[in-house]
Amino acid sequence: MKYAFGVDIGGTTVKMGLLDQNGKILEKWEIPTRTEDNGSKVLPDIAAAIRDKINEKGLNDSDIAGVGVGAPGAVDDNGVIYQAVNLGWGKFNLKETLHSMVKLPVKAGNDANVAALGESWMGGGRGFSSMLMVTLGTGVGGGLVIGDHIINGAQGSCCEIGHIHLVDNEEEECGCGNHGCFEQYASATGIVRLAKRRLAEDTKDSVLRSGEISSKRIFDEAKNGDEVAVEITKRYGYYLGKGLAICANVLNPEVIVIGGGVSKCGDILFDLLRPSFDEFLFKGCRETKFAMAELGNDAGICGAARLVLA
């Protein structure tokens, strides 16, 4: 049996896991992300934590397939990270640098892409030959996995689907400076924006007229039968389905796996997006399936371990 370390570097903590080749998480733990001195302590801390764990478990280096790392920035096929603003990192070869410290084989990828690989291996994408992972959070992120491989794109920006143009004549500006980007509608902040627009249209009664509006609350109130909330979720589903249809027409994945905060509303999301997804879908892609992400916060360490186990 071979083992691997999966490392998911975040802005405040580094999630770490020891997995076996079947994808079973034997142990997981966290260490703080020390971002001082331009993040120069992050990789030494990770290397030390791994060596400690190897000693603690009495493992031999020959039992370890390697260390996989997901980092919050664009990472190319050679392991070069272009920038990780949250960590204070500029451009350098993450893979080779960590390898020189930990003395084990290292592979590295973008954190969202690595999480996608985790879902493809052990989560919602298990058993499918190709998967588009879509994360509906503060923004909209994407990751493409074909077979066992993450498709990184030329500058590590494959599946930056949050910024595909979705709607003409949008007046509000997206964070990226454009107008009408997919994530202006399909993110958790997007649905709140749609809610505020809907509420401003008339004075129809709705519990959403008082209190803070959040993605979760909109879906909860829709389930409780609030008619305005129902309308908002339908509009949300329209945009989500339209954007995913564009992605499916370009990529023709076997399955689209949806994760992130908004996905916690459950399978109703599929019912909401399906009409417009089918409307805008090219017929050659009609067999596209949907699934929910299953691994939650473990997707990152799981996919990172898979980088060195595949």
Sites of contact with a copy of itself (CB under 8 A): 74, 77, 129-130, 142, 146, 151-165, 167-169, 176, 178, 242, 245-247, 249-254, 279-280, 282-285, 287-288
Closer residue to a copy of itself (CB): 132 or 228: 132
Closer residue to a copy of itself (CB): 21 or 249: 249
Query: Least separation, in Å, of the C-beta of 281 and a copy of itself?
Result: 8
Query: Least separation, in Å, of the C-beta of 201 and a copy of itself?
Result: 19
Closer residue to a copy of itself (CB): 48 or 250: 250
Q: Nearest-CA neighbor of 118 among 19, 265, 1?
A: 19
CB 30 within 8 A of CB 13: yes
Closer residue to a copy of itself (CB): 99 or 163: 163
Query: Least separation, in Å, of the C-beta of 282 and a copy of itself?
Result: 4
The enclosing H or E element of 27 equals: strand 25-32
- For residue 173, what are the CA distances in angstroms to 139, 170, 183? 14, 8, 11
Closer residue to a copy of itself (CB): 128 or 270: 128
Closer residue to a copy of itself (CB): 82 or 223: 82
Query: Least separation, in Å, of the C-beta of 124 and a copy of itself?
Result: 15
Query: Least separation, in Å, of the C-beta of 113 and a copy of itself?
Result: 11
CB 157 within 8 A of CB 106: no
Angle between helices 188-201 and 227-251 (to 10 degrees): 140
d(C-alpha 25, C-alpha 305), whole Å: 10
Query: Least separation, in Å, of the C-beta of 197 and a copy of itself?
Result: 16
3 state SS of 7:
strand
Cβ atoms within 10 A of the Cβ of 274, count? Answer: 16
Per the document, the length of the chain is: 310
**What token pair was written down for 132?**
């588009």
